[in-house]
Amino acid sequence: MAGLTIPQPLGRGLDTLLRPYSQVIFSRSRVSGALILLAVATSPHVAVATLLAVAVAQTVVIVAGLGVDAARDGVHASTAVLTTLALAYGLGAPAPALVAVSAVLAVCVSAAVRMALSGGPAAPLSLPFVISAWTALLASRVLPGATALAPAVWPIESWIASLGASLSWLDVPAAILFLPSAMAGLLLLSAIIWHSRIAALLALVGAAAAALTRIVFRHEVGWSDVDLTASFNATLTSMALGGVWFVPHPSSILLAAAGAMLTCVVTYALLPVASTWSLPLLSLPFAVTTIAVMYAMRLRQQDRSPASAPLANRPEDALSHHLMRVRRFGEFAWLPFRLPFRGPWLVTQGHNGAHTHKGPWRYALDFEIARPDADLESIRGGELADYACYGLPVLAAGSGTVDSVVDGVADNPINGLNARDNWGNVVVIAHAPNLFSVYAHLKPRSIRVKAGDLVKAGVEIGRCGNSGRSLVPHLHFQVQRTAVLGSETVPVDFGDVIARTNDRATLSHRVIPAEGAVVRPLVLDESLAQLLAFPPGSIWELRSDDNQTVEIATVDVDLWSRRVLQSSRGRLYVEPYDSGLIVVAFEGDRDSLLSMIRLAMTRVPFDQEGDLTWTDRVPRHLVWPGAEMFIDVAAVVAPGLTDLELTLTSHRTENAVTIDGDGGAVKTRLVISTGGQPHVIDVQRGETRRRVTLRRVPGDREENPK
């Protein structure tokens, strides 16, 4: 992020120290951590206590074997920091022994809760903190010499007394740290803004929603700490729901506001409950509300608007991951489903089709083969073998486990119908606990899989037949929420679909084939696939066209199996899969040669077609340099305005495949040489035009390329 390069050991040390602080706002930024530490330092003795807590906690994390990475991550230690802050506020000046023991407790609870909730849709959030803070506070009551019982709700008077001035909005962020200081609030706010502008926007939304709720519920009553507690919890909820666990989008902002209001209500509800044990609410309403909302959102029929963000990160990262990858190519196992056959087939009945695709079965598709010189009507009648698709392979549309197989139903003669065995020979594949695909009317004794088999997308599962409720040989395909045949169908997109109309072949990467369209999956061009495989360990040379600038990039693999081309000036993340290559993200100097590649190579399909056309939508702020900080926010509030739409066409010659991209003011050209020459990338932005050549440097691990 920052341009500073810090030597590794120092960097690691800083992470271990600062990340526990930055994780309070779910950030990994050292600067944010430093700002928060400064915020805590407005009460010096509290700062010392937290530093002690961090030291103890991190030691425990390492010594207990939770891993050095966990220590660097700072998540467990951050629970300890918050616990110390709560103790400090509740007890004034907690004894170091208490602080140390509470830190150990915090780590233990944090790890335990994390483990208990792992595998589910929700994250622990601040639950470990609340549990360990309550435990510590309750335990402190038996300590000899303990100061007054921690008040159930902290009296507003003491708050105002320490401020000496009227309340300001800065108290809300300060309350996150349980520190009665406007300066602390300001520093925390700066930490949030530094970490993520979108999070800052969401914090504002949360605070506003809380204010609105207060007006609705408590407008006659004076401001009290209930409102303070509700406000800071609402702010946290809004940040979490609006940009961390869901992709930032106008719909996620709505969700954030709604969540914030719910949090206020939950705060009012929990108040009497907590006060019976004289325990402060801390950030329990936030945790409870957010976890509940996350579980509830899981039951949605479709994961969009807002889409859930699986890698909980900075909102900007979640947004960019969504725009660059999920929106373009789907999340599930690389692609949405693939067409379950090879070669061009005609969609004879689509979604909501006129014949049988109605009601609960409306999201089904029928496929037959289109002959090049005759329409289907003219060849009706005759024998099964006269039909081009009879006996052709049917493939699994996605990876999964075979759930059930029905075989042994005879083929009908042409125009015969078997209404008893409606589905004929049929295979059901489970892709997820609530996602099943169905392949019906298959040829008897052609099914090569059985229940329990693991299948990958594209593997043959049977042959097209005419069994069941089928007049002429065709493939019936549908996706359901349960494994029971005939249950409710859901619409799913197919990826990597090529449709041919009027001599133009168009590639779509998320489409539902329409009735009457002739569609086919990609046919792999092995030479392209080999050329652009970017194998780990390979070395690539980028050269500017005046030969003055040369960058060398090596290819590595990251934790998420992405290939990372790392040069001295940046990192390019690409994902080659079996039928294409996509560029996912770029970090680094946007003037570098490496950054030019991501514009020209947003997506390269490895298909044998001579002339192919497709479109791509890339968020503009990932394309244009400058002002990224605030374009991120604009992208959330007004998506679409910040998108760059590219139309790409590929064209083949004997020894090259040329891909031209047209995005209005941005034009790109990528020439992939299949004849051993360097690849050439041209980018034209407005008036400026730049050219880069890219070639693989021989002599790395793989065999010498020609």
Q: Judged by CB, which is closer to another protein: 189, or 498?
A: 498
Which helix (H) or strand (E) is 598 found in, with range?
A: helix 593-600
Q: Judged by CB, which is closer to another protein: 368, or 616?
A: 368
Question: How far apart are alpha carbons 23 and 35 in whole angstroms?
Answer: 12
Question: How far apart are alpha carbons 12 and 263 in whole angstroms?
Answer: 36
How many residues bind another protein (CB under 8 A)? The answer is 34
Q: Judged by CB, which is closer to another protein: 176, or 365?
A: 365
Contact 109, 131 (CB under 8 A): yes
Q: Judged by CB, which is closer to another protein: 608, or 647?
A: 608
With CB under 8 A as the contact rule, the residue among 392, 427, 670, 692 that binds another protein is 392
Instruction: Return the range that interacts with another protein (CB under 8 A); candidates 83-91, 335-343, 508-516, 559-567.
Output: 335-343
Strands (E), 338-421: 345-349, 364-369, 393-395, 400-406
179 CB neighbour count, 10 Å cutoff:
26
Question: How many Cα atoms are found within 13 Å in the side-chain-facing hemisphere of 422?
Answer: 4
233-292 residues near another protein, rule: CB under 8 A? none
Exposure of 138 by Cβ count < 10 A (0-12 exposed, 13-18 middle, 19+ buried)? middle
Which helix (H) or strand (E) is 200 found in, with range?
A: helix 197-218
- Least distance from C-beta 523 to another protein, angstroms? 5
499-528 residues near another protein, rule: CB under 8 A? 503, 520, 523-527
Q: Judged by CB, which is closer to another protein: 73, or 607?
A: 607
401-460 residues near another protein, rule: CB under 8 A? 448, 458
- Least distance from C-beta 331 to another protein, angstroms? 25
Q: Judged by CB, which is closer to another protein: 298, or 651?
A: 651
DSSP calls for 279-324: ---TTHHHHHHHHHHHHHHTT-SS--SSPB-SS---HHHHHHHIII
- Least distance from C-beta 474 to another protein, angstroms? 14
Instruction: Return the range that interacts with another protein (CB under 8 A); candidates 16-24, 187-195, 204-212, 647-655.
Output: 647-655
With CB under 8 A as the contact rule, the residue among 341, 534, 573, 614 that binds another protein is 341
Interface pattern 457-496 for another protein (x via CB under 8 A): -x--------------------------------------
- Tell which residue, 574, 497, 577, 566, has the closest CA to residue 529: 577
Q: Judged by CB, which is closer to another protein: 334, or 586?
A: 334
Question: How far apart are alpha carbons 144 and 58 in whole angstroms?
Answer: 28
- Least distance from C-beta 695 to another protein, angstroms? 15
331 CB neighbour count, 10 Å cutoff:
16
Examine residue 388 and tell whether it contacts another protein (CB under 8 A): yes
Q: Judged by CB, which is closer to another protein: 369, or 666?
A: 369
590 three-state secondary structure: coil
Q: Judged by CB, which is closer to another protein: 133, or 519?
A: 519
- Say if strands 400-406 and 603-605 run parallel, antiparallel, or are unpaired: unpaired
Instruction: Return the range that interacts with another protein (CB under 8 A); candidates 12-20, 54-62, 86-94, 337-345.
Output: 337-345
247 CB neighbour count, 10 Å cutoff:
28
Q: Judged by CB, which is closer to another protein: 182, or 392?
A: 392
Interface pattern 343-372 for another protein (x via CB under 8 A): xxx-----------------------x-xx
DSSP calls for 455-473: E-TT-EEEEB--BSS-SSS
Q: Judged by CB, which is closer to another protein: 288, or 517?
A: 517
Exposure of 280 by Cβ count < 10 A (0-12 exposed, 13-18 middle, 19+ buried)? buried
351 phi and psi angles, rounded to 5 deg: -60, 145
Exposure of 55 by Cβ count < 10 A (0-12 exposed, 13-18 middle, 19+ buried)? middle
- Least distance from C-beta 675 to another protein, angstroms? 4
- Say if strands 475-480 and 539-544 run parallel, antiparallel, or are unpaired: unpaired
Question: How far apart are alpha carbons 32 and 200 in whole angstroms?
Answer: 13
Tell me if the bond preceding 310 is cis, omega within 30° of 0: no
- Tell which residue, 364, 151, 125, has the closest CA to residue 245: 125
Q: Judged by CB, which is closer to another protein: 81, or 392?
A: 392
Question: How far apart are alpha carbons 72 and 346 in whole angstroms?
Answer: 55
- Tell which residue, 419, 404, 465, has the closest CA to residue 440: 465
- Tell which residue, 44, 280, 293, has the closest CA to residue 175: 280
Instruction: Return the range that interacts with another protein (CB under 8 A); candidates 120-128, 238-246, 598-606, 651-659.
Output: 651-659
Examine residue 610 and tell whether it contacts another protein (CB under 8 A): yes
427 phi and psi angles, rounded to 5 deg: -120, 135
- Least distance from C-beta 344 to another protein, angstroms? 5
Question: How far apart are alpha carbons 610 and 132 in whole angstroms?
Answer: 64
- Least distance from C-beta 521 to another protein, angstroms? 9
With CB under 8 A as the contact rule, the residue among 304, 445, 456, 651 that binds another protein is 651
527-556 residues near another protein, rule: CB under 8 A? 527
With CB under 8 A as the contact rule, the residue among 514, 558, 655, 689 that binds another protein is 655
Q: Supply 629's token pair.
A: 């900080």
- Tell which residue, 480, 324, 317, has the closest CA to residue 403: 480
- Least distance from C-beta 542 to another protein, angstroms? 23
Instruction: Return the range that interacts with another protein (CB under 8 A); candidates 37-45, 253-261, 417-425, 609-617.
Output: 609-617
With CB under 8 A as the contact rule, the residue among 654, 686, 687, 701 that binds another protein is 654
Question: How far apart are alpha carbons 292 and 659 in whole angstroms?
Answer: 48
Interface pattern 675-694 for another protein (x via CB under 8 A): xx------------------
Q: Supply 689's token pair.
A: 């035009």
Q: Judged by CB, which is closer to another protein: 72, or 441?
A: 441
Q: Judged by CB, which is closer to another protein: 363, or 606?
A: 606
Q: Judged by CB, which is closer to another protein: 300, or 445?
A: 445
- Least distance from C-beta 75 to another protein, angstroms? 46
- Least distance from C-beta 343 to another protein, angstroms? 3
Question: How far apart are alpha carbons 199 and 283 in whole angstroms?
Answer: 18
Contact 285, 153 (CB under 8 A): no
Q: Judged by CB, which is closer to another protein: 415, or 653?
A: 653
Instruction: Return the range that interacts with another protein (CB under 8 A); candidates 249-257, 297-305, 631-639, 673-681.
Output: 673-681
Q: Judged by CB, which is closer to another protein: 256, or 392?
A: 392
- Least distance from C-beta 389 to another protein, angstroms? 8
Give me the residues that bind another protein (CB under 8 A), please. Answer: 341-345, 369, 371-372, 388-389, 392-393, 448, 458, 503, 520, 523-527, 608-611, 651-655, 674-676, 706
